[in-house]
Structure 1
Amino acid sequence: MKKTSKKNNNFKIPGTELNSSDAERGKKESQSNFVELLPLEVTSKIFSQLDIQSLCRASRTCTSWNHAIRNNDSLWKSHCLTIRAVCQREIDDDVKSGYTWRVILLRNYQKSKVKYEWLSGRYSNIRSPVSLPEKAMCPMDADTWGEILDAELEREVEKLQ
C-alpha cells in the first residue's frame, strides 16, 4: 500500500509545478465540496444563478448543499418575488405572518402556477369542476377563487362587448 504525504493542505499558487504528492492532494481537493471550501457569499452567488427547479435539485445533492440552500433565505426571496406578481396578496400575507421566504415559496408556488394559468385564460372554457385537470389543481383559499372569478367575469363582459 502506498503511503501518502502528510504535507500541509494549503492551496498552491497558480503556475507553480505540482509534484506527485501535490497531485494526489489536488485530486482529493477536487473531490471536495465547493460549499465547504468557498466563503458563504460566493456559494450564495453561485446558487442564486439557479432557477427554482435547479435550486431544489441542488438542495438534494448532499447534506452540505442542502444546508447551504435551505438556510439561505435570500436564495428563495427572488423566486418568491417572481411569483408575487401572480399571488401578491398571498405572498404579502405570508411575509406579515413571519414565514421564511423558502416556506412562502413552498406555500404559494403551485397556487401561483394555477392562478396564472387561470387568469391568462387557460381554463376559461371549463364549465364544471369535473372538467378541471386534476393534477394541475391545488387547494386555494376563497379570496384566490374570488380573484379568479372576477377575472372570468371580466373576460365574459369583454366577449359580450
Structure 2
Amino acid sequence: MQRTSKRNKQLRITCKELPPDKKKKEHIQDFVAIIPPEISYKIFSELDIRSLCMAAVTCRSWNEIIDNSDHLWKNHCLTVRAVCQREIDCDRGSGYSWKVTLIRNYRKCTVKNAWLSGKYSNIQSFSVLQEKSMCPMDAETWGEILEAELER
C-alpha cells in the first residue's frame, strides 16, 4: 500500500481545479510593438547578416523595422567593403541603399575572399570548382586575384 502525503494530494487537487481561463495560454505580444523603436533598432543591430535576414522574414512588423532601417545594413556592408571596396563605392555612388549594396556584393565578396585567401590556389582544372561557390566577376577583380596568386 502506497502512502500519499497530504501535501501531494493538495497539489493534485489544486492543479485539477484551476479555472478554465487560467489554463489558456496568454497572448504574447511582439516586442517590437511594445518597446520603443530605438531599442528595437539596437537589438537588431547586434545580429549578423544571416540572422538579420532571417529576422526580416519572421513577421511583418520585424520586416518593416529591418527593411526601413538602412543603418542596420551599413556595418555589414562596410565589412564587405574591406574585400570589395571598388564595387561597394561604385554602388553607393550610384545611389543604392546600404541594404541593396550589400545584397548586390555579398556573394561576390565571399567568392573573391576565397580566391584571395588562396582557397583555390592548388586546383588542377575548372571541373574541381563547385558551381555554387562561384559567381561572375569583372576583369579588375580577376586582376586582383591574379596579383594575389603571383605573390604566393
TM tier, shorter chain? 0.7 to 0.9
Cross-structure match for 1:125:
122
Query: Which amino acid is 2:96 matched to?
Result: Y
2:60 corresponds to 1:63: yes
How do 1:2-151 residues align onto structure 2 when only pairs under 5 Å count? 27-28=26-27, 31-151=28-148
C-alpha distance after superposition, 1:101-154 (max 9, x if no partner): 100110111111111111011001124322222111112122211211121122
Question: What CA RMSD, in Å, does the superposition of the two structures yield over aligned residues?
Answer: 1.5
CA offset at residue 40 of structure 1? Answer: 1.6
Segments of structure 1 that go 5 or more residues without pairing to the other structure are 1-22, 156-161
Aligned length: 128
C-alpha distance after superposition, 1:34-61 (max 9, x if no partner): 1122222111000001111111111110
Identity %: 63
Provide the rounded CA distance (Å) in 1 between the counterparts of 2:115 and 2:106.
14
Provide the rounded CA distance (Å) in 2 between the counterparts of 1:51 and 1:144.
26
Provide the rounded CA distance (Å) in 2 between the counterparts of 1:129 and 1:92.
31
Larger radius of gyration: 2
TM-score, normalized by length of structure 2? 0.79
